[in-house]
Amino acid sequence: MQFEADLIKLLQRASNGFTDAVFLGISQLGTELAFLAIAVVLYWVLDKRYAYRFFNVYILGVAITNFLKLGFKRTRPFNAYDVRSIGDPEPTYSFPSGHTESIASISTLLTIKYGQKSKAVPIVCIAATLLVMLSRMYLGQHYLSDVFCGLTVGVFCAIAFNALLSLFGDKEELFIIPNIIVSVIIISVLAGVGMLNSPSGADILKGLGAFVAFDIGYFVEKRYVKYDVASNRLWWTVALRLVVGLGVAVGIQQGFKLFLPQSIPMLYCFLRYFLMAAWAALAAPALFKKLKI
């Protein structure tokens, strides 16, 4: 709508090298790398069981967001109106905002877990969510309605799927069964409608690759590796876990781009994120236990 485009133009009046860099940085809070950093701190350091729930709830929300994008197919503001794309233009559809859904989901889950222990947690989470929403409009990537829908989807999915996984009790690893069934159905549907090679289809495959691998990895880790994240919390052991673990994870996520064919999404998207999640859920804890860190 025109008034939404006018709002973006108004925000972009403040554009200069400094503000552009600031909002590009803020926008990164709604990316998969920000989620990965928080997820592995939870999984490798703080609370492995809640990290499992955190991971699954987040991925389910991302999947729903991408299906909504495919359903609405709304054109990005910089393609529909006379507004600029500050930074690289996003190739997927506009509605709803994936970055906003991401940070809203993360913020809601962290508030559910830690909000009663520290009043600072919900304050920081709300501020981060609002700033990401503002940044997505300022950068010309989303309309006001996109970010508000992203907020709604993120909060709703976090609350609903968190409640769903809580029903599994101490057998949360059995969520792997509906996980695999749903993943096979989604991949079959995407292939059937010819969406595997689309940008949104690629994003869904990334999520599914991580979704399946993390749940398989957690299932095996809980039964056989049994790494106790609280067994050694000396500052240097925690730092070593995060440096080594995140280094390998990002190395897989970025390094495998160099030789996996981008023209084959099941390899470039699904397999790459499958391997990254398998490392995070299973191989890294096994290594940490072996090294006693």
| pLDDT on residue 148 | 96
| pLDDT on residue 233 | 84
- From the first residue on, what is the mean pLDDT of each consecutive set of 10 residues in the chain (293 residues)? 87 91 95 89 93 92 88 89 87 91 97 91 96 96 95 96 90 88 86 74 85 94 93 89 92 89 85 94 95 90
| pLDDT on residue 193 | 73
- Using CB atoms within 10 A of its CB, is residue 82 exposed (0-12), middle (13-18) or buried (19+)? exposed
The domains of the chain are located at: 1-167, 196-293
Q: Does domain 1-167 have CATH number 1.20.144.10?
A: yes
Handedness of CA 257, 258, 259, 263 (dihedral sign): positive
| pLDDT on residue 215 | 93
Q: Indicate whether this model's pTM tops 0.85.
A: yes
- Yes or no: say if 214 and 277 are a contact pair by the CB < 8 Å rule: yes
Distances in Å between the Cα of 251 and the Cα atoms of 33, 38, 152, 246, 262 are 12, 17, 33, 8, 17
- Yes or no: say if 7 and 81 are a contact pair by the CB < 8 Å rule: no
| pLDDT on residue 176 | 87
| pLDDT on residue 225 | 95
